[in-house]
Amino acid sequence: MATSAAPPGRCDPRRTLELRGGDRGAGPVIYWMSRDQRSRDNWALLHAQDLALAARRPLVVAFALAPAFLGATWRQYAFMLEGLKEVESDLAALGIGFRLLTGEPPAAVAAFARREGAQTIVSDFDPLRVKRGWVENLCRRVSCPVVEVDAHNIVPCRIASPKLEFGAYTLRPKLRRLLGEFLTPFARVTAHPWNPPAAPATDWDRVAAGLKADRGVGPVEGLKPGPAGGEAALRRFVADRLAFYDEERNDPVADGQSNLSPWLHFGHLAPQRAALDVRAVDNVPAASRDAFLEELIVRRELSDNFCFYNPSYDAVAGFHAWARATLDAHRADPRERLYGAAELDAARTHDPLWNAAQTEMTRRGKMHGYMRMYWGKKLLEWTPSPEEALRLANLLNDRYALDGRDPNGYTGTAWCIGGVHDRAWGERPVFGKIRYMNDKGCKRKFDVAAYVRKSGSPTS
């Protein structure tokens, strides 16, 4: 069926970056899907389709299932695999191929691309070290062009700023200046006229059985993984809780957050979709709408900026000089209490509030955003060094949180322990000038006893 040449690029060219040139093979365009695991609202898929339409080629999406990923357990893999099943059938309905590849991702994708004679490979932007390493490795293994598309940030990370930003206050104006050009409606992926050779549907049971992920951390009940689940969660938030977001988002007892982070993390839901839908709501207080957009756009895109431009985003070496100096000056301060990984993991500290936060995360797969700050800061107070505090914060967060292994997480723990994107505060033992938080501050803000009851304690 002849169709017109590709419509004029549906994806803003500023979202794309050619990582390598090369010889265009005679085969399909391949979108190596990783961060943005969805068929709708996906600029990387739209760009890959434009390339395939212009070359009158099939379009195939490849997902490389890593045998291990930053400490991910069965909890996270189960959520992700459920979503990928849905993506496979969404793509099939559009005549777009889906291939689940196993083994080390760059080698698996390179072998697939060579076998198929890929015309071009499109990848989706991700600032994490492991992901950038995968794409660099791929570029050395293939001879066709490889193009990166930022499908996660509303303002592409590389465009928003060419450098590491000090904080929200320095990035916000840069985002604001460009938001009008990038916070635009999504084009739709169309039915693809050149279909890839039929391939057997993925044997998802066999894929799951082949995963070594630690089954000791089980799936979180009651959440519907995948793009449809993410879109439903967004509709529920907008309908029921957006109106109260400004005053309730920092109250761990109220269910005031959107709870969208698992679907945003796996790319089942596009942040831009959430921003477009929330911005269009006109029957809620502007303060709530604006507060949500500040977190969703500024805070989240600040995290990508931090991880992209700071190679030590998950290390004390990545903290600002003032923070390293103040933490060094207080390294020898006596710690009132010291806890190791086992006690912290089991939520067996002296502090019922901290235990409740840890229990919420291990049971629910998500800790309330306000409690994450308290939770992270106590680790600095109760471990022998900032390095150990940061290691344990990332280890526990990535083990239990559905939204873990994310730039937001590494930035969040660096904020808690190293004052990243924060300022210096009054000097005190152990913390130095890093912002301090304690349970008295929490008691002033919300009903601590109610939160402890709600989250349960390890023995309950």
Instruction: Tell me which stretch binds ligand FAD (CB under 6 A): 124-132, 202-210, 220-228, 293-301.
Output: 293-301
User: Is 406 near ligand FAD (CB under 6 A)?
Assistant: yes
CA distance 302 to 407: 9
- The CA R_g of the chain, rounded to the nearest whole Å, is 23
Q: Please say which residue, 85 or 265, places its beta carbon nearer to ligand FAD.
A: 265
For 95, the token pair is: 């005549």
**Residues 22, 142: contact at Cβ < 8 Å?**
yes
Please, which residues have CB within 8 angstroms of residue 96's CB and are 6 or more apart in sequence?
39, 49, 59, 60, 61, 189, 192, 196
**Residues 120, 144: contact at Cβ < 8 Å?**
yes
Q: Please say which residue, 145 or 376, places its beta carbon nearer to ligand FAD.
A: 376
* Residue 409 binds which of ligand FO1, ligand FAD, none (CB < 5-8 A, kind-dependent): ligand FAD
Q: Single out the residue of 390, 386, 375 nearest to residue 335, CA to CA.
A: 386
Q: Please say which residue, 50 or 406, places its beta carbon nearer to ligand FAD.
A: 406
Q: Please say which residue, 27 or 262, places its beta carbon nearer to ligand FAD.
A: 262
User: Is 72 near ligand FAD (CB under 6 A)?
Assistant: no
CA distance 223 to 230: 9
Triad 458, 401, 454: Cα angle to 5°? 40
Q: Is 286 exposed, middle or buried (0-12, 13-18, 19+ CB in 10 A)?
A: exposed
User: Is 378 near ligand FAD (CB under 6 A)?
Assistant: no
Q: Is 13 exposed, middle or buried (0-12, 13-18, 19+ CB in 10 A)?
A: exposed
Q: Which of residues 110, 326, 403, 451 is near ligand FAD by CB under 6 A?
A: 403
Please, which residues have CB within 8 angstroms of residue 422's CB and are 6 or more apart in sequence?
167, 415, 434, 435
Q: Which of residues 29, 401, 448, 452 is near ligand FAD by CB under 6 A?
A: 401
Residues in contact with ligand FO1 by CB under 6 A are 34-35, 64-66, 69, 72, 76-77, 80, 105, 126, 128, 266, 405-407
Q: How far is the CB of 361 from ligand FAD (least distance, A)?
A: 10
Q: Please say which residue, 42 or 358, places its beta carbon nearer to ligand FAD.
A: 358
Q: Please say which residue, 134 or 292, places its beta carbon nearer to ligand FO1.
A: 134
DSSP-assigned letter for residue 20: E
Triad 359, 262, 281: Cα angle to 5°? 115
* Residue 401 binds which of ligand FO1, ligand FAD, none (CB < 5-8 A, kind-dependent): ligand FAD
Q: Which of residues 59, 361, 416, 448 is near ligand FAD by CB under 6 A?
A: 416
Q: How far is the CB of 261 from ligand FAD (least distance, A)?
A: 3
User: Is 272 near ligand FAD (CB under 6 A)?
Assistant: no
Number of residues that bind ligand FAD (CB under 6 A): 29
Residue showing tokens 């690029």:
9
Instruction: Tell me which stretch binds ligand FAD (CB under 6 A): 2-10, 155-163, 224-232, 393-401.
Output: 393-401
DSSP-assigned letter for residue 18: E
User: Is 413 near ligand FAD (CB under 6 A)?
Assistant: yes
Instruction: Tell me which stretch binds ligand FAD (CB under 6 A): 50-58, 155-163, 398-406, 447-455.
Output: 398-406
Q: Please say which residue, 70 or 109, places its beta carbon nearer to ligand FAD.
A: 70
Tell which positions 295-324 bind ligand FAD, by CB under 6 A. 295-296, 299-300, 303
* Residue 412 binds which of ligand FAD, ligand FO1, none (CB < 5-8 A, kind-dependent): ligand FAD
CA distance 268 to 225: 8
Q: Please say which residue, 31 or 410, places its beta carbon nearer to ligand FAD.
A: 410
Q: Where would I find the H helices in 271-320?
A: 271-279, 286-293, 300-309
User: Is 409 near ligand FAD (CB under 6 A)?
Assistant: yes
| Strand ranges for 2-151 from DSSP E | 16-20, 29-33, 59-65, 97-102, 120-124, 146-149
Q: How far is the CB of 72 from ligand FO1 (least distance, A)?
A: 4
CA distance 458 to 183: 44
Which residues here bind ligand FAD, judged by CB under 6 A? 249, 257-261, 264-265, 295-296, 299-300, 303, 369, 372-373, 376, 393, 397, 401, 403-404, 406, 408-409, 412-413, 415-416
